[in-house]
Amino acid sequence: MSKCSRCETLPAPLKDEVVLYIAPPLSHTKGILCGLLKESGLSFGEPLEGILAVDLGPEELRDVGGAISEELSGGELSDCKALLLEKGAEPGLRDLARMRSLGALIAEARGEWLLDILREDRITSHFQPIVHTSDAGRVFAYECLLRGSDEEGSLVSPGRMFDVARSAGLLFNLDRAARLKAIEEASRFGVETNVFINFNPTSIYDPVYCLRSTVDAVERSGITADRIVFEVTESEEIRDTGQLLDILAFYRRAGFRVALDDLGAGYSSLNLLTELRPDFVKLDMTLVQGVDKDPYKATIAAKLLELAASLGVSTIAEGVETQEQWRWLLANGADYVQGYYFAKPASPPPIPAMAYEATRR
């Protein structure tokens, strides 16, 4: 079966000398760009009518890209089409057809550090236990959480990586790499419980092509499909519910289960609950934190737990930080809980605090 070139192919590293071709949509935009390029002292011309050509090195591209991003509006950055070619290469019709938004190209150049992380496989998974609410020392599952490392070995947060990936058009690559690393690390550490793996539906074009490598990785790992739970993240960004249903149908045909994240975070998550019919729902941490003290939060959380139970959907409350929150969730029927009160994400997979204390008695 063919690979998904968008998910599995990373952009080539920037050459030492390149030419940036820009096709501005308006003469006004073109005037701003010409003024910025002159101020930067860069050599540029107009080899084709309406298309600027700028000679650059990687650092110059990042610097001028920052200046352009500050001066042009988001709409202009999106409507300007751009292309990078090695210096000396003449652009042909096929190259011009590959032009993409100037904003995405600049973001990719300024996020070259993320491409380095992906090329050099400097990512890993940390694990956070999901425990039984009624027996918090017993692990039901581990959620795999992406972490990166910079050239000095310091951790890079997933939020920073995903922010850059979205703007640079690298979300497909990063999301796939995170899924594969989660499977690899869970297998390496011999995780014997269920394994929750996050995925962003907007990072998948076609499940048959984009997810084939994920299914293959699970099969190689020795982890049985029924222990893998794919967790839908970024539910607020989902616009194509039909595509999401196709993705989940693909996962379920492969024997995996499905979780919906952030229930209670917005109206869209309730809509998705009715359409996706997940095996698990995760109560949003902003609702969980303070649920024992805030009567509004308590009422909403109790109704959501009651709703999920009536639908036969297992519930996980995330973000639990105090004993009082845990006790409230136990009294109100949450099936499982997750949060710093039990264990912080770590590698190798940490033992929950309650289980650790039990071994010391």
Nearest of 73, 130, 197 to residue 336 by alpha carbon = 130
Query: 116-360 in CATH: which number?
Result: 3.20.20.450
Nearest of 320, 361, 315, 357 to residue 338 by alpha carbon = 320
Q: What is the reported pLDDT for 325?
A: 97
Nearest of 254, 216, 187 to residue 3 by alpha carbon = 216
CB 62 within 8 A of CB 109: yes
Per-10-residue mean pLDDT, the chain, length 361: 59 76 92 91 87 84 86 91 84 78 86 91 96 95 96 91 87 91 97 94 71 89 95 67 84 92 65 85 92 95 94 96 96 97 96 63 39
| Alpha helix stretches (DSSP H) within the chain | 5-8, 27-40, 58-71, 74-79, 93-97, 102-110, 112-119, 158-168, 171-188, 207-210, 212-221, 241-253, 267-276, 285-288, 295-311, 323-331, 353-360
Question: CA torsion, points 261, 263, 265, 266, in degrees to nearest 10?
Answer: 110
Q: What is the reported pLDDT for 108?
A: 83
Distance in angstroms (rounded) separating the CA atoms of residues 64 and 18? 14
Type of residue at 50: G
Distance in angstroms (rounded) separating the CA atoms of residues 349 and 266? 31
Q: Hey, which residues does 45 pair with through a beta bridge?
A: 53
Q: What is the reported pLDDT for 1?
A: 47
Distance in angstroms (rounded) separating the CA atoms of residues 9 and 4? 8
Q: What is the reported pLDDT for 86?
A: 83
The model's pTM:
0.85
Helices 27-40 and 58-71: crossing angle in degrees, nearest 10, is: 130
Q: Give the DSSP letter of residue 76.
A: H
Domain spans in the chain, listed from the N-terminal domain onward:
5-110, 116-360
Distance in angstroms (rounded) separating the CA atoms of residues 147 and 161? 9
Query: 5-110 in CATH: which number?
Result: 3.30.70
Q: Hey, which residues does 315 pair with through a beta bridge?
A: 281
CB 248 within 8 A of CB 282: no
Report CA-CA distances (Å) from 308 to 73, 143, 276, 314: 44, 21, 13, 7
Q: What is the reported pLDDT for 238?
A: 62
Report CA-CA distances (Å) from 109 to 64, 211, 227, 325: 11, 27, 39, 45
Q: What is the reported pLDDT for 303?
A: 93
Type of residue at 243: Q
Nearest of 153, 169, 37, 168 to residue 110 by alpha carbon = 168
Nearest of 17, 73, 61 to residue 37 by alpha carbon = 61
Q: Tell me if residue 346 falls in helix, strand or coil.
A: strand
Nearest of 337, 342, 281 to residue 134 by alpha carbon = 337
Residues 79-106 pLDDT 10s? 999 988 888 777 777 777 778 889 988 8
